[in-house]
Amino acid sequence: MAERPYIVGNWKMNGTRAMLAQARAIDRAAQNMMKVEVALAPPFTLIHATHREVEQIGVGAQDCHCSTDGAHTGDVSATMVADAGAKFVILGHSERRQNHGEDDALVRAKAEAALAASLRVIMCCGETEDVRDAGNAIEFVASQLRASLPEKHERAGEMLTVAYEPVWAIGTGRTPTVDDIGVMHRAIRELLVERYGDADGASIRILYGGSVKADNARELLSADEVGGALVGGASLTADSFMGIVIAAAEVHEQ
Ligand SMILES: O=C[C@H](O)COP(=O)(O)O
């Protein structure tokens, strides 16, 4: 892994204020792990409190609306999450696509709104098991990314991250092989270079997500073109999350 690994915890719909103790513990531990960029995406309700409690780690949101404000009951805009202390937003997660019917066009509109609010974007993509079994995983992910990512951005390399998360690997304990991850990540890299040019396309980090744990992180993070991980379940306690961060530091040093 050439660049500084990026390990992001996605707390999903987990956590009340009692969870801030885990954020503090992760932040303290991350201060001794400067070789790894560590971040957490708590639920909306904890963004501001997490931002106030931590010094070292990044804090982000798990979604935002595509409009800046207006009559959208229950929604939260990019400007609002930025105001609460978020520096990035996860968009296009398969749980949003499946549970809220978000299509690629909406995800792209959200990404444009987030970038306009100076938020970095972690753009998720990934195929279902049926798509993989039919041998169409690469075509599917490429088409999802082409339609979901903004057409251009002057600081694409710095502002965008892609997270490849096969839907069938999320929360299941199943993972692709290192070879399969490498094949997919190389295809994503090609697409990013094609869209954003050599320099930006090469510097956008591509994370792997889906059942990453401390005991498989070393292997998964050593796959070709993997720049870090988007972690769900194992990010909910400082011990399990920091096990992944430590593995990332070790892979980086190899
Ligand atoms: O955003 C995180 C992913 O959905 C992975 O979740 P997981 O680590 O619980 O499989």
CATH 3.20.20.70 fits 67-230, yes or no: yes
Q: For the chain, which residues make up each domain, given as ranges?
A: 67-230
Q: Which residues of the chain fall below pLDDT 50?
A: none
Beta bridge partner(s), residue 89: 61, 121
What's the rounded Cα separation, in Å, for the pair 211 and 230?
9
Per-residue confidence (pLDDT) for residue 3, from 0 to 100: 83
Per-residue confidence (pLDDT) for residue 1, from 0 to 100: 60
State the ipTM, two decimals: 0.99
pTM score of the predicted model: 0.97
Gap from CA of 215 to ligand 1 centroid (Å):
15
Of residues 69, 98, 16, 27, the one with CA closest to residue 245: 27
Cβ neighbors of 197 (< 8 A, separation 6 or more) are none
Return the sign of the alpha-carbon dihedral for residues 60, 61, 64, 68.
Answer: negative
Most informative mutation of 6, 127, 181, 212 for ligand 1 (most atoms within 8 A of CB): 212
Neighbours of 115 (CB within 10 A): 20
51, 93, 153, 185: the active-site residue: 93
Gap from CA of 234 to ligand 1 centroid (Å):
8
Residues 138-185 pLDDT 10s? 999 999 999 999 999 999 999 999 999 999 999 999 999 999 999 999
Of residues 123, 114, 49, the one with CA closest to residue 87: 114
For residue 232, what are its two tokens? 């769900």
Return the sign of the alpha-carbon dihedral for residues 63, 69, 72, 73.
Answer: positive
Beta bridge partner(s), residue 161: 122, 205
